[in-house]
Amino acid sequence: MYKEMAQVYDELMNDAPYDQWVDFTKQAVKHYSKQTPSCLLDVGCGTGELSLRIAQQGYEVTAFDQSEQMIDHAMAKMESEHEIHFLKADATEFQLNKAFDLIVSYCDVINYLTDENSLTKAFYQIYEHLTDSGLFIFDIHSQGYIDFLLDSEMFSEVREDISYVWFCEETERSHEVVHDLTFFVQTEHELYKRFDETHKQRTFPVEQYKQFLSSIGFQEVTVCSDFSLEYREDADRIFFICEK
């Protein structure tokens, strides 16, 4: 997962709402943090685009992803004035021997934890890496958005240098989707190289996430949506602000 796709990820995500994630983080910290956070952990950082933007806000940033290829791309574009500690790690079993004031996991990273065991293991690891009164903020695709993907079944896009076909398939489990992706990427000889990747994501009910988080030890869990501190049931993206 995210192997050859890492080389085209930034191009495919060039219109992603990175600035909105940064702004939402600032809002959440202002309204819910009991301290002024200085060190931040980005869980599932991908190619580091969001990590870099967060570092520009003055945070000391550590970031990891389970894809070595994504981390390679992140390190290649790191800015000297905003040095970030990038590393390869798994959200369910990382050990950094350091506590963070703020931990974030955006762009539906948590949706890749598709069973209760891996989800609670990741939440536990994150909890253990937070300072007292620290915040954990993450987002997920809503169940309504998963339904939209499954109803649509297929997406495609053709560009001059890259094209893709994206099939969405339902599994036997509620609100779980398998993404079958085929890419055609132009090479230096004006030929196109094909590669395929398969991704699986799942969304649990909001109340179930809250139960998991409370069972780990989080004291307060606030649910928001679509980059706003308010919550709407018909939102595409759900945010959780979790206080240790």
At 78, list the tokens. Answer: 């790191």
Answer whether residue 58 shows pLDDT above 70: yes
For the beta carbon of residue 166, count every other beta carbon within 10 angstroms. Answer: 17
Q: What is the pLDDT of residue 17?
A: 96
Instruction: State mean pLDDT over 118-147.
Output: 97
At 100, list the tokens. Answer: 């963070």
Q: What is the pLDDT of residue 80?
A: 64
Q: What is the pLDDT of residue 63?
A: 97
pTM: 0.94
Of all residues in the chain, the percent with pLDDT exceeding 70 is 97
Region for residue 223 given its phi and psi (left: phi exceeds 0; alpha: psi -120 to 50; beta: otherwise) = beta
The DSSP bridge partners found for residue 186 are 192
Answer whether residue 53 shows pLDDT above 60: yes
Q: How far is CA 100 from CA 167, 204, 232, in A?
A: 38, 27, 30
Answer whether residue 174 shows pLDDT above 60: yes
Answer whether residue 87 shows pLDDT above 70: yes
> CB under 8 Å to 38, separation ≥6 — which residues?
58, 59, 60, 101
Per-residue pLDDT band for 3 (boundaries 50, 70, 90) equals: low
Q: What is the pLDDT of residue 151?
A: 95
Instruction: State mean pLDDT over 143-154.
Output: 94
Answer whether residue 62 shows pLDDT above 90: yes
Per-residue pLDDT band for 243 (boundaries 50, 70, 90) equals: very high
Of the listed ranges 55-59, 107-111, 157-161, the one predicted with least confidence: 157-161
Question: What digits encode the pLDDT tens for the residues 209-237?
Answer: 999 999 999 999 999 999 999 999 999 99
Q: What is the pLDDT of residue 149?
A: 94
Amino acid at 42: D
Q: What is the pLDDT of residue 8?
A: 79
Per-residue pLDDT band for 107 (boundaries 50, 70, 90) equals: very high
Q: What is the mean pLDDT of the chain?
A: 93
Angle of helix 116-128 versus helix 206-216 axis, rounded to 10: 50
Of the listed ranges 19-33, 88-102, 156-170, the one predicted with least confidence: 156-170
Q: What is the pLDDT of residue 9?
A: 80
Q: What is the pLDDT of residue 172?
A: 96
Per-residue pLDDT band for 122 (boundaries 50, 70, 90) equals: very high
Tracing tokens 């339904």 back to the chain, one arrives at 147
SS3 assignment, position 217:
coil
